[in-house]
Structure 1
Amino acid sequence: MLLTTALAVSLNAAPTSAIADAAAAKDIATVKKLLKEGGDVNAAQGDGMTALHWAAINGDASLASMLLYAGANVGAKTRICGYTPLHLAAQVGNASVIAPLIAAGAPVAAATTTGATALMQASHAGSTEAVRMLIENGADANVKELANGQTALMFAAAADRVDVVKMLLARGADVAVTSRVEDFSALTMTNDADQNGVPRPAPAQGPGPIIPGVTRGFNYNELIGKHGGLAALHFAARQGAMSTVEVLIKGGANINQRGAGDQTTPVLVAAINGHFDVVNYLLDNGADPRPASEGGVTPLYAVINVQWQPRSFYPQPRAYLQQKTSYLDLMAKLLDKGADPNARTNRNTWFTQYNFDLLRTDDSGASPFWRAAYASDIAAMKLLVARGADPDIPTMKPAGGRDFQGGTRSGDANAAPARPALPVGGPGTPPLVAAAGAGYSEGFAGNAHRFAPTGMMAAVKYLVEEVGVDVNAEDEDGSTAVHNAASRGDNEMILYLVSKGADVTRVNRRGQTTVDMANGPVQ
């Protein structure tokens, strides 16, 4: 009986958030009634939202003023993420609420648990009036948040808030400062050490240099390598924010600034994301098309790569379909500006495959011509050959087979090689073998692989008849174009290749004949 009574008293005495609840529902009449009855203006809901928080996020300046007059705590923080009312007013860009909050002493420099300030949120929201108010009351335009080391200028640039970008630059925002760099390869090393019970290395030691395809295949984090280290111009270029790109360049941004992470330039990050119009603008304004990322990807490679990006299990950005600049015109312009048609990647391009390696190809060492051949893109191949591309450059043989996540392919682990293996880093897949259907013999590449509507057959004919490639060229496994055609059941291509001298008796290094491939791609 005593326990029941005590429980009842405890429940009855529990604080309520009636005023916050009414403010959340925009029920101003009830808020006024509860305040007159002596209700607690600072009573918070379960997540820490008070009535003043709700007035801020709802943009109700009159309610905010009423609550402040009634004694609302202007610096109250939510339980989750530590948002103050000023953060929420800035988040929706409401200057009319920000004004009374600042007048009541709101801490302008207060940060959330991730280090985000009201200025960052107002910048992302695009409110120049809110940004002006915050800066004039002491907000620092160059402070960085904690999660990614981004500044207010980066928030504005990524959201294409042109007027805010102009204001921040005029108020002293540093256009050259970069976001935090995170080394994913070091993260992998640390995680592996933790799982295996090995002492973690001291942070100063780092993971050591990554040598593509030496002792084993890369896992995914190692393929990514270093992430971040981007300036505001990188963010604007990544998002295709043309107007912001223009403003940043006029404001002194280095058009060729390399990211402190993977050495990506603004023109490269724009190309990777399919923003061809931004790439075109950057080239017109002096961008150098030659620098490659840490993984060896150049803007020229990125353009042909994104044009034929694979089908995916889930939606992906499709900006390349919305550009005024065609990919072929852009490739020609990149070459005109000095792009190397034979530049090669040095590891598998981690951002190409959205769907867990259905393609079953590794583009380590790939050239732009190889990528065009893999996409059966005759127009791109002709353009590249005319500008000096070598049509015989293959990919490089990676360590661990074609499984870019560090494993080996089906059948590799237990099968004795029928022929001596090629060394890691040696010749991989030649363009002809890629064009005939690289990866199809490994599984279900056909569900993801995208290629030009003219088809594989036309591309193979072009390579054999016009370019003059070796019809019996082999990949690192010893498979030829006939092997790949057989694995796809492409009788027309098989007959064509045979008519041009292809050897159907070739046995690859896994002991598979062309007939084996015709019996079924996955052995």
Structure 2
Amino acid sequence: MRTLQMIVKRMGLLLALIWPLLLTAAVAAECGRDGAADAALVAAAAESGDWARLQQLLQAGDSVQAAQADGMTALHWAALHGSKDVVQQLLQRGAAVDAENVYGVRPLLLACESGGAGVVEQLLGAGADAGVSGAGGESMLMVAARAGRVQAVRSLLAAGVPVDGRDRNQQTALMWAAAEGHVAVVQQLLEAGANVGARTAAGWSALFFAVREGRTECVRLLLSQGLDVNAPRTADKRPPGPNPLLLAVLNGHFETAAALLEAGADPNAQPTGHGALHAVVWVRRPVRGDGDPPPVGSGRLGSLEFVRLLVQRGGDVNLRVRQGVSGFADFTTTGCTAFVLAAQTGDLLLLELLLELGADPRIPNADGATAVLAAAGVGDLGSGLEAAGSETEAIAVIRRLEALGLDLNVADENGETALHGAAYQNWPLLIEYLDGRGLKPEIWNRPNRWGWTPLIIAHGYREGNFRPDAATIACLERVMRARGLSIPQDPGRDVEANQQSWDRKPKTK
């Protein structure tokens, strides 16, 4: 206790000694700030656009060079506001035309962004360096192109700024203008000799930037320069990426996709292993949870209208995925038609349209899984993911498939059945529905390739996190008792033996 009292006493003495020093430093810092603020009154007036106040300060002899804490001068602000008269006045009073703020930004860059009439020309005429680049290597021309400033672009080109200059990401002014949809600037740059086929290290060209952002008119203009509408995005030492049509669909830009079809895009191309029709399914209903949300998209053309247009343009409604996803306990998308994929996402509206357009509902995937198994939820989605459709939607789709004559008592080459699927998704209502439709226990109450029965899956045995579900377990046990089936005390005990039994089965071709 005594030691503690001594420590407190000494701390009090120490604070008493250093307090005057701290106070003096704080006052000095505040005075410094006030002094800096007083010195940059002209810049502050320019920032707020108070031109009358700025005139008063200039007449009183205040400095036009004084900068604010971040290095912004009155000329920076006047250029950003696009005030030609104030810019001229500041230049006449000796304002530094190439002054940089603490981020390296000059008045010319701000003028290129704001596009004030004649300000870029003023600054260039006063000796501003048009060849300087920003922190990311972006040229003044890129900044003006991104902002859609036609007059500024013209002036910078006339000043000798290279039309195909690149930033640190290997992007050009044409790419920036195309991505923002500035058709007039794209036309300007093309007329100035911009390389329409220039690509970044990742294979992105102006066309792909325009397609990704849904800039339909820019896409049309760029294609008029002789570009191959079907060429996929390519880069050194990387597999091919999507072609323009697939990229447009993946981003929900169906009007842009329609324009690409009009320009001759192949409706059945599968540059990354799947086609535009398959992509529509995933865009309409992506996997939930940790998956990406649906794209925002653009235009007035909806996804269903686009599907109809795609088929009218020669799209194969039964096109099968050339190379899809497959793996341990996954649902194999290789060989899937759009119909099977739409069944998997519970998209009854799309299913009905595909049927109207001639889809064959009986075509399975490469593992022999039919639309019934896809709708029932076969395939483990992994941790953090949920099926795109709901349990109620899955039941509605399966009811429709049964009306079309599809057999509910099927198993694919992995031994997966509709009840395996319902167990993966923890859908007890679907289990009850399927049981009521007469599913045969001798088909579904068997282990799949990975050693799992529906009950084992419900107990949490699956790829990724161990995830038992009490409601699904209880439902399956009720069904099994009603069918006279024995319920194992420890369902997971037999997984390894089941796997070995499956591995000993004769291989089929």
The code of the aligned residue for 1:167 comes to: Q
The one of 109, 116, 124 aligned to 2:138: 116
**1:6 and 1:342 mapped to 2: Cα distance?**
74
Pairing 1:75-474 to 2, within 5 Å after superposition? 75-80=98-103, 82-146=104-168, 148-181=169-202, 229-261=203-235, 262-294=240-272, 296-310=273-287, 316-319=294-297, 322-323=300-301, 326-333=305-312, 336-337=314-315, 341-347=319-325, 365=334, 367=336, 368-376=338-346, 377=348, 378-379=351-352, 382=355, 386=358, 391-394=363-366, 427=367, 431-438=371-378, 449-450=388-389, 455-464=393-402, 466=404, 468=406, 471-474=409-412
How many angstroms does 1:79 deviate by? 1.6
Read off the aligned partner of 2:409 and give its amino acid letter. Answer: V
What's the TM-score, normalizing by structure 2? 0.72
Partner-residue secondary structure (3-state), 2:231: coil
The answer on whether the counterparts of 1:156 and 1:164 sit within 8 Å (CA) in structure 2 is yes
Q: Is the 8 A contact 1:391 1:467 kept in 2?
A: no
User: Could you tell me which residue of structure 1 aligns to residue 485 of structure 2?
Assistant: none
Q: CA deviation at 1:36?
A: 3.8
- SS of equivalent residue, structure 1 residue 172: coil
Whole-Å separation in 1 of the counterparts to 2:133 and 2:153: 16
| Shift, 1:111, TM fit | 1.0
Q: Distance in 2 between matches of 1:3 and 1:237?
A: 59
Equivalent residue, structure 2, for 1:57:
80
Q: CA deviation at 1:104?
A: 0.6
Find the aligned partners of 2:176 and 2:254 in 1 and give their Cα distance.
Answer: 22
> What is the number of residues matched between the two proteins?
426
User: Among residues 16, 20, 23, which one is paired with 2:46 in the alignment?
Assistant: 23
AA in 2 matched with 1:304:
V
For 2:96 and 2:368, locate their aligned partners in 1 and report how far apart those are by CA, in whole Å. 66
CA–CA distance in structure 2, aligned partners of residues 283 and 258 of structure 1:
15
Structure 2 residue identity aligned to 1:139: V
CA distance in 1, matches of 2:298, 2:118: 40
| Inter-partner Cα distance in structure 1 for 2:139 and 2:326 | 38
State the AA in 2 paired with 1:57.
L
2:484 aligned residue: none
Structure with more relative contact order (C-alpha pairs < 8 Å, separation 6 or more): 1
Aligned partner (choices 479, 488, 498) of residue 427 of structure 2 = 488
CA gap of 1:321–1:305, structure 2 versus 1, over 3 A, is farther
Tell me, yes or no, if the aligned pair for 1:87 and 1:121 is still in contact at 8 Å. Answer: yes
Q: CA 1:234 to 1:516, structure 2 compared with 1: closer, same or farther past 3 Å? A: closer
C-alpha displacement at 1:389, in angstroms? 8.3
Partner SS state of residue 100, structure 2? coil
Instruction: Give, in angstroms, the shift of residue 24 of structure 1.
Output: 0.6
Deviation string 1:207-249 (CA, Å, 9 cap, x unpaired) is: xxxxxxxxxxxxxxxxxxxxxx111111111122121111112
Q: Would the aligned equivalents of 2:254 and 2:299 in 1 still touch at CA under 8 Å?
A: no
CA contact (8 A) 1:141 1:152 kept: yes
| Preserved CA contact (<8 Å) 2:375 2:397 | yes
Instruction: Give how far 1:100 is off.
Output: 0.8
Secondary structure at the counterpart of residue 498 of structure 1 = coil
Identity of aligned residues (%): 31
Q: Secondary structure of the residue that 2:438 maps to in structure 1?
A: helix
SS state at 1:95 partner: coil
- Kept in 1, the 8 Å contact 2:42–2:66? The answer is yes
Q: Could you tell me which runs of 5 or more consecutive residues in structure 1 were left unpaired when the two chains were aligned.
A: 182-228, 350-359, 395-426
Whether contact under 8 Å (1:154, 1:232) holds in the other structure is yes
Distance 1:289 1:139 in 2: 40
Indicate which of 443, 447, 450 corresponds to 1:507: 447
Letter of the structure 2 residue corresponding to residue 231 of structure 1? S
Per-residue CA shift, 1:473-518, capped at 9, x if unaligned? 2475x44211333531125531355257873422343544448638
Q: Deviations over 1:384-431 (max 9, x none)?
A: 8x467872114xxxxxxxxxxxxxxxxxxxxxxxxxxxxxxxx49654
Give the C-alpha shift of residue 297 in structure 1: 3.3
Maintained 8 Å contact 1:19/1:40: yes
- In structure 2, the CA distance between the partners of 1:464 and 1:387, relative to structure 1 (3 Å rule), is closer
| Closer/same/farther in 2, CA of residues 387 and 345 from structure 1, 3 Å limit | same
Deviations 1:433-489 (A, max 9, x none): 22113468967755x624799x3234324545646467332475x442113335311
* TM-aligned CA distance change 1:91 to 1:389, over 3 Å: farther
Report how far residue 63 of structure 1 moved.
Answer: 1.1
Call closer, same or farther: CA 1:392–1:337 in 2, change over 3 Å: closer
Mapped contact 2:330–2:381 kept (Cα < 8 A): no
Unmatched runs of 5 consecutive residues or more in structure 2: 1-19, 459-468, 474-491, 493-509
- Distance in 1, matches of 2:24 and 2:307, equals 80
Deviations, residues 50-77 of structure 1 (Å, cap 9, x unaligned): 2111111111111111111111111122
The one-letter code sitting in structure 1 at the alignment partner of 2:226 is G
Once the two structures are TM-superposed, the CA of residue 176 in structure 1 deviates from its matched residue by 0.8
Q: Secondary structure at the match of 2:55?
A: helix
What letter corresponds to residue 18 of structure 1 in structure 2? L
